[in-house]
Amino acid sequence: MDQPRQPVVLVWLHSVKNRLVRPRMRGETFRKWVSRNMDSSTLATLLDVFQVILGIGVTMVYFYQNWSKFQDVAETPMVRTVQRAIGVFFTFDYLVRLIASESPQTFFLNTMSLVDLATILPQWLEMAISDDSDFKKQANALKTLRGLRFLRSFRLLVFAKTAKGRQAGILFLTVMNPHILICGEVNSGALDFFLRQFLHPNNINWKDKVVILCPGLPSNNLRRILLNSAYEQRVVYLQGSAMLDSDLKRAGAANARLCFVLLNKLSTDGDRNDTASNLLTISLIYS
Asked whether 209 and 178 are in contact (CB, 8 A), the reply is yes
- Residue 107, H or E segment: helix 104-109
Q: What is the mean pLDDT of residues 203-222?
A: 82
- Confidence bin at 4 (pLDDT 50/70/90): low
Indicate if 186 and 54 belong to the same structural domain.
Answer: no
What pLDDT does 163 receive? 47
Indicate if 207 and 95 belong to the same structural domain.
Answer: no
Higher local confidence (pLDDT), 126 or 93: 93
**Total count of domains within the chain:** 2
Evaluate whether residue 55 is within a structural domain: yes
- Confidence bin at 142 (pLDDT 50/70/90): low
Indicate if 251 and 179 belong to the same structural domain.
Answer: yes
What pLDDT does 136 receive? 63
Evaluate whether residue 275 is within a structural domain: yes
**Final residue of a domain: which of 128, 156, 184?**
156
Q: DSSP string covering 167-220, please?
A: HHHHHHHHHHS-EEEEEES--HHHHHHHHHHHT-TTSTTTTSEEEEEESSPPPH
What pLDDT does 203 receive? 67
Q: Is the pTM of this model over 0.75?
A: no
Evaluate whether residue 184 is within a structural domain: yes
Question: What would the pLDDT profile of 21-80 be if each residue is shown by its tens digit?
Answer: 878 777 778 888 887 777 777 887 788 788 878 877 777 777 776 666 555 555 677 777
Higher local confidence (pLDDT), 181 or 164: 181
* Backbone torsions φ then ψ of 200, nearest 5 degrees: -70, 140
- Contacting residues for 32 by C-beta, under 8 A, at least 6 apart: 100, 102
Indicate if 152 and 23 belong to the same structural domain.
Answer: yes
Question: Nearest Cα to 195, choosing from 226, 159, 241?
Answer: 226
Question: Nearest Cα to 254, choosing from 266, 242, 264?
Answer: 242
Evaluate whether residue 271 is within a structural domain: yes
- 279 is in which domain, residue-wise? 163-285
CB atoms within 10 A of CB 85: 11
Evaluate whether residue 246 is within a structural domain: yes
Higher local confidence (pLDDT), 195 or 153: 195
Higher local confidence (pLDDT), 36 or 90: 90
- With 80 as the cut, is the pLDDT of residue 253 above it? yes
**Final residue of a domain: which of 124, 156, 188?**
156
CATH code: domain of residue 131:
1.20.120
Question: Nearest Cα to 203, choosing from 99, 101, 103, 100?
Answer: 103
- Confidence bin at 155 (pLDDT 50/70/90): low
Alpha-carbon torsion (46, 52, 58, 63), positive or negative:
negative
What pLDDT does 1 receive? 46
Evaluate whether residue 4 is within a structural domain: no
Q: What is the mean pLDDT of the chain?
A: 76
Among 4-13, 66-75, 240-249, which stretch is predicted with the lowest mean pLDDT?
66-75
Asked whether 181 and 260 are in contact (CB, 8 A), the reply is yes
- With 80 as the cut, is the pLDDT of residue 158 above it? no
What pLDDT does 232 receive? 73
**Final residue of a domain: which of 156, 183, 211?**
156
Indicate if 18 and 144 belong to the same structural domain.
Answer: yes
Indicate if 192 and 167 belong to the same structural domain.
Answer: yes
- Confidence bin at 169 (pLDDT 50/70/90): low
Indicate if 210 and 235 belong to the same structural domain.
Answer: yes
Beta bridge partners of 236: 211
